[in-house]
Amino acid sequence: MSNIVVTGGAGFIGSHLCEALLRDGHSVIALDCFDDFYDPAIKRRNLVSAMAYDHFLLVEGDIRDQSIMFDTIDQETDIVVHLAARAGVRPSIEQPLLYQDVNVRGTLNVLEACRRVVGCKLIMASSSSVYGNRKEVPFRETDAVDDPISPYAATKKCCELLCHTYHHLYGFPIACLRFFTVYGPRQRPDLAIHKFARLIEAGESIPVFGDGSMMRDFTYIDDIIQGVLCAIDRIDGYRIYNLGESQPVALRDLISALEKALGKKAIIDRQPLQPGDVDRTYADINRAREELGYNPCTDIETGLDCFVTWLREESSV
């Protein structure tokens, strides 16, 4: 069993990962700053199950604080899963300096901490946004990613480059995982599926940007966690992997599937396309299948049913 540090461990993906690692018998330290991007109380609820394990420790701190990173990632650390980041395409356009500071400088602190620990391995969360507004699909890890269209995407590309540099200089294994539109229980409240479901349930209108033809490779949280666990087991050298469902869904079809899962009709509020949004995302997952054993298997209907069940249970608490 390993000693694993998860940055951003109280977030949507991080809390699910911590639970999976704890169930497998690993010792887990979750680091989170509980910032105000959304209600910190939600993140604390995310960790209720994890806190029941003796081999779990929560550290409240910011990845921009180098001393905290050096204290948390120490000589006992085997693996770091770096999920902490300032997320969101549209907010990054409004606050580019903050996104650079958290995502780039914070990742540098993680890398600096890792290189000081003999035998440490790093998994870093990247994003499908690095592909920009590509017309050719599906997106492959070998595609050029030199044209990001949001500060958020640019910071993730920068972090991948820094990871490559540190692997080259110091030799420790690093895998960068490009996540494709993750959803499921505990999804951030600002993201489309959570926001839409909440508004439809309340009988309020949902903001739809564009004509509904925009497509996303929606990926259920259990499939993402399976991919991360596979990367932890098989990390070697420096490698980039797409983790997606590889089944893009148009926004209009997502809304129809949500209506079915909720048993309610959506009220559509048409709005213009937003800066930074791409037309589609679509993951080629052959590399992850072949090298990691990644095997996503949750279709959108099943995933949405699970999400709606969770949403209604949360609302009744």
Nearest of 230, 229, 306, 227 to residue 262 by alpha carbon? 306
Tell me the backbone φ, ψ of residue 36, rounded to 5 degrees.
-100, 20
Percent of the chain, pLDDT > 70?
99
Domain residue limits, the chain? 3-180+220-245+276-297
74-102 pLDDT tens trace: 999 999 999 999 999 999 999 999 999 99
Instruction: Enumerate the H helices of 116-191 as residue ranges.
Output: 151-170
Say how far apart CA 222 and CA 17 lie, in whole Å.
Answer: 9
Q: Are strands 27-32 and 56-60 parallel, antiparallel or unpaired?
A: parallel
- The pair of structure tokens assigned to 33 is 């700053």
- Chain-centroid distance, C-alpha 205: 27
The pLDDT of residue 317: 56
- Per-residue pLDDT band for 315 (boundaries 50, 70, 90) equals confident
Average pLDDT on 195-221 reads 95
State yes or no: pLDDT of 175 exceeds 80.
yes
Instruction: Measure the CA angle with vertex 162, ends 103 and 293; round to 5°.
Output: 90
294 counts as catalytic: no
Instruction: Give the global pTM.
Output: 0.96
Which is the catalytic residue, given 99, 152, 166, 282?
152
Fold for 3-180+220-245+276-297, please state it. Answer: Rossmann fold (3.40.50)
